[in-house]
Amino acid sequence: MAQFVTAGSSLVGGIGTDRRSLFISVRTRHIVVAPTFFSMFLAGHLVASLFGTSSSHADMPLARSPSVSTPSATELVSTSTPVWHNNFESGWAAAKDSGRPMIIFITSEHCRFCDAMKQNTLCDASIRSRLAEGFVPIILRPDKNAKVLARIPVTTYPTTLLAHPRGKVIAHRVGYQPPDRFHELLGMAPRSPN
């Protein structure tokens, strides 16, 4: 049986030898959960509440690395700063005029993964420079762009779309994207004539 223990308490738990049942012991009381879908779902939430763990498996950083500094106001407003459009129509018009592909970042209020991506990925100097030089970045929120987002099936925030200036979506990513994966997405863009 694989076991886990919460330090400083009498909580002990583990996965049964059948690798499907869950065992939880709180002081002298034991709970054995049978391996059904509903019971595993319920047991997962029970373990999360008992042990203070989260069931989220996203690879989002929880805090900025101490070696990474927050950009200053001067750095944020420079020639390598992309101009973000906050509605699809103005962004699409700019993309058609420039021939540059669109990067559409769909975010939501109170979304910690969106906030982490804004802080860690979109503020990354290499990402900002690349967006400013070859893309038309657009940021959309459901509360401000409901009409446009009604046509886009968004199931998870953030969602990032890469689209051709004519409007066709080339690629998309769902969830938090660290800078290296965001660079991969940007690399899928067709070359602009500029």
- The burial of 95, by beta-carbon neighbours within 10 Å (0-12 exposed, 13-18 middle, 19 or more buried), is given as buried
Describe the strand order of the beta sheet including 11-15 as a list of residue ranges: 2-5, 11-15, 22-26, 29-33
**CA distances (Å), origin 121, targets 53, 55, 74, 125, 187:** 26, 24, 18, 9, 15
- The burial of 50, by beta-carbon neighbours within 10 Å (0-12 exposed, 13-18 middle, 19 or more buried), is given as middle
The bridge status of strand 11-15 relative to strand 22-26 is antiparallel
CA–CA separation, 180 vs 168, rounded Å?
Answer: 24
Instruction: Encode the chain (194 residues) as per-residue pLDDT tens digits.
Output: 444 444 444 444 555 555 545 544 444 444 444 444 434 443 444 334 444 443 334 454 444 444 555 555 445 445 578 999 999 999 999 999 999 999 999 999 889 999 999 999 999 999 999 999 999 999 999 999 999 999 988 989 999 999 999 989 999 999 999 999 999 999 999 875 54
φ/ψ (deg, to 5) at 94: -65, -40
Distant-in-sequence, close-in-space partners of 74: CB < 8 Å, separation ≥ 6: none
